[in-house]
Amino acid sequence: MPKKFRELTLQDVATVVALTNEKADRQIVYKAVEKIAGETCGWVLLTTLKYNEAEQVVERVHSSNESAYPLGGKKPLSKITKSHEQMESGEVFLAPDRAAVKETFFDHELIFSLGITAILNSPIRHAGKRLGSLNFCGEEGMYGETETRNAKILAGLLVPCLLQEIKA
């Protein structure tokens, strides 16, 4: 049974929308989503990745733990195909337990060293195109239907930021 978090509210959505409309600094928006995500979904580590189609990699544009997962870090899509294949079609990817994390992520030893035993990745998409993903790394049993729904909403709110990241 997932841990209970507070409900995602219209005020949460309005806060992020206002920031994307008013702030040029995307890190302010990412930090606001990080705070809301912690309260409504939970995480041990939260990252935002953008797709770089030309290089066939994902690149980290936000990290709640920059010492373990620094900004600008890249992972080749060829090493993370299982989770990103689902997200390419717009589906959330869930590795609900330690075994699934180990099977899916080549950097699972680092992941486990941070106390992470479950991962929920929500695609960030616009006009049918993948832009990136919002990645919730938590503990086994943390992510259920409510957290998945909230993750999708929060990921959707990051579309303006990812569109800017891709142009940058």
Q: What is the pTM of this model?
A: 0.93
**What is the pLDDT, as a whole number, of residue 1?**
46
Q: What span, in angstroms and rounded, lies between the C-alpha atoms of 164 and 10?
A: 24
10-residue mean pLDDT series, the chain (168 residues): 81 96 87 98 97 91 95 87 68 94 91 96 93 96 95 97 88
Domain ranges of the chain: 29-167
**What is the pLDDT, as a whole number, of residue 167?**
82
**What is the pLDDT, as a whole number, of residue 3?**
64
**What is the pLDDT, as a whole number, of residue 79?**
80
**What is the pLDDT, as a whole number, of residue 92?**
93
Q: Which two tokens stand for residue 90?
A: 């717009």
CB proximity list for 31: less than 8 A, separation 6 or greater: none
Q: Which two tokens stand for residue 97?
A: 């337990």
CB proximity list for 60: less than 8 A, separation 6 or greater: 47, 48, 49, 69, 70, 71, 72, 73, 74
Superfamily grouping for domain 29-167: GAF domain (3.30.450.40)
The alpha carbons of the chain give a radius of gyration, in whole angstroms, of 15
**What is the pLDDT, as a whole number, of residue 83?**
63
